[in-house]
Each structure stands twice: as structure tokens, then as C-alpha cells.
Amino acid sequence: MAGTVEPIRVIPYERRFERDLVEICWRTGLMGETLEGTGRFEDRKLFALRFVLQFPRTWPDTCWVAVRGEAGRERAVGYIVGTVDAKAQARAAKSFFGWRWRILLRLYALTWWRHPESFRQSRSFGGSRAREIWADPEYRETDYPACLHMNLLPDCQGQGAGTRLMAALIEELRRRGVPGLHLGTSDRNVKAVPFYKKMGFRLVRETEGEFWKGAPAHGLDFALKL
Ligand SMILES: CC(C)(COP(=O)(O)OP(=O)(O)OC[C@H]1O[C@@H](n2cnc3c(N)ncnc32)[C@H](O)[C@@H]1OP(=O)(O)O)[C@@H](O)C(=O)NCCC(=O)NCCS
């Protein structure tokens, strides 16, 4: 109906939402801001393959989407993707036969000629920073084995959808008896940091780093006991 804003619903992830995830990821993936107009990572699918798609493709049962639109024809406007086994995720992300071959295939079969700038950046980037909080003896892997990523399109933020996405994941993790959950963000994610604190997460580690060239940021690791 003209003039009315469709309500946002939270529903379990389905593969039909993958395209929406690619778009959301790209429009919010530069530490909470859009990559549009920055000249970074013009190959959107490659960007999503690196940072998000491994979760819904491997662990769809711990992924949810915030959607708008009528049932069966919804469009995803946000997501939370997680896994109960972050260590396995990190291993698969690094392993050629686990997840990396998909990224390399895309990079060399398509990105290098279609998006030469993305190709150059992806090669110099060298993979996401190790965010294995269990490398720190104080935060044992067994305490916080699950991890997550979440993003909402700008016009869908600040309306409680993030809270509902987080509640869906936490409820499922508790149902499975998972003891804790962690995530990595940065001090430049100015919306995410207060959000995670409000959700009860505790800051457990700060690291200096550079997410991308020319984008210095303190890495922040948050953890939540369930
Ligand atoms: C971070 C994010 C997931 C939060 O989801 P959201 O739907 O916007 O958050 P909610 O509306 O559920 O807000 C819950 C609480 O979080 C805090 N919060 C949310 N947005 C905030 C903002 N912009 N500034 C300060 N606090 C904020 C508030 O405490 C809020 O509670 P309140 O409304 O009672 O004050 C969402 O804003 C987002 O996707 N941001 C851009 C992408 C991003 O940074 N993702 C995280 C990457 S690590």
C-alpha cells in the first residue's frame, strides 16, 4: 500500500536469499558503512564469499534473515549468520579444499578481468585477520565456541530487527546447549559496538590493526556466556 512501511519479520535463512545477502554485505561491510563509491571490492560476490557466505552455505540452521514483503516473495534486508563451531569455520576458511578454492576460483576465473581493482586488493589483502579468541588462554575455545556476523541495510537499522535476529540465534544456541558466543568487530563500527554491549556482550580483547589498506581500526572481540 502506498505510503505504508512494510513490517520487518525475522525468518530462518533459505538459499533464495543469497543474492540479498551479497548486496547487504556489500552495502554495510566497510566497518558498518557501504563499499559503494569507495573503489574497494567492486566484485560484490567475491566480498561476500570471503566474509559471509560460508556460514549459510555450510550451517544454514544457524542463520536467519530480516525480511520485508509478502510470504514466499520476501526480500532480505538483514541477516545474522553463525556457527556453533567457529574453530571449524576458521579452519575451513583457510584450507584450500575447505572454502578457499571457491574464492580463488572466482578471483582467477572472473574477478581478475572483470574487476581488476578488486583483484589487486584481494590479493594484497591476504585473508581476514585471525580472530580466534581462544588463542588467548583467558578465553578458552570451549567457553565461546560459537560465532556470528550480522548486518542490516541502513534504512532497516534502529528498529529492533537486530535485536530480534540476535534473539533467534541465541535461542537456538541455548537449545543446543552451546555455552558461549563470540564475534569480532572494530572501533569504527560505531553502531555495532553499543548494540553488542546492549545485548550483553563483554569486550574481551582489543587489537591494533588495519582492516584494509588506509583503514586503520582497533579490532574488538566481544563474548557472551549463554
Ligand atoms: C549493528 C546492527 C546489527 C544493530 O541492529 P539494529 O536493528 O540497528 O539495532 P536495534 O534497533 O535492535 O537496537 C538495539 C540496541 O542497540 C543499540 N544501538 C543500535 N543502533 C545504535 C546506534 N546507531 N547508536 C547507538 N546505539 C545503537 C541501542 O542500545 C539499541 O537499543 P535502544 O533502541 O533501546 O536504544 C545494525 O545497526 C547494523 O547492521 N549496522 C551496520 C552493519 C554493522 O555494523 N554490522 C556489524 C558488523 S560487526
Ordered by where they begin, the domains of the chain are: 9-225 (3.40.630.30)
CB-based contact 218:208 (threshold 8 Å): yes
Higher per-residue confidence, 143 vs 196: 196
Note the pLDDT tens digit of each residue in 5-56.
789 999 999 999 999 999 999 999 988 999 888 878 889 999 999 899 999 9
Taking the C-alpha atoms of residue 44 and residue 7, their distance in angstroms, rounded to an integer, is 27
Q: Which ligand 1 atom is nearest residue 31's CA?
A: 44
Higher per-residue confidence, 2 vs 90: 90
pLDDT exceeds cutoff 70 at 134: no
Using the mean position of ligand 1's atoms as its centre, give its distance from the Cα of residue 107 in Å: 33
Share of the chain above pLDDT 70, in %: 87
Angle subtended by helix axes 44-51 and 116-125, to nearest 10: 20
φ/ψ of 67, rounded to 5, equals: -130, 160
- Long-range CB contacts for residues 206-209, cutoff 8 Å, separation at least 24: 209/129
Note the pLDDT tens digit of each residue in 88-113.
998 899 899 999 999 999 999 998 89
Mutate which of 65, 81, 131, 157 for ligand 1? The one with the most ligand atoms within 8 Å of its CB, which is 157
Predicted TM-score (pTM) of the model is: 0.92
CB neighbourhood size of 45 (10 A): 16
Closest protein CA for atom 48 of ligand 1: 185
Beta bridge partners of 208: 218
User: Residues lining ligand 1, CB < 6 A?
Assistant: 28, 32, 150-152, 157-163, 185, 189, 191-192, 194-195, 198
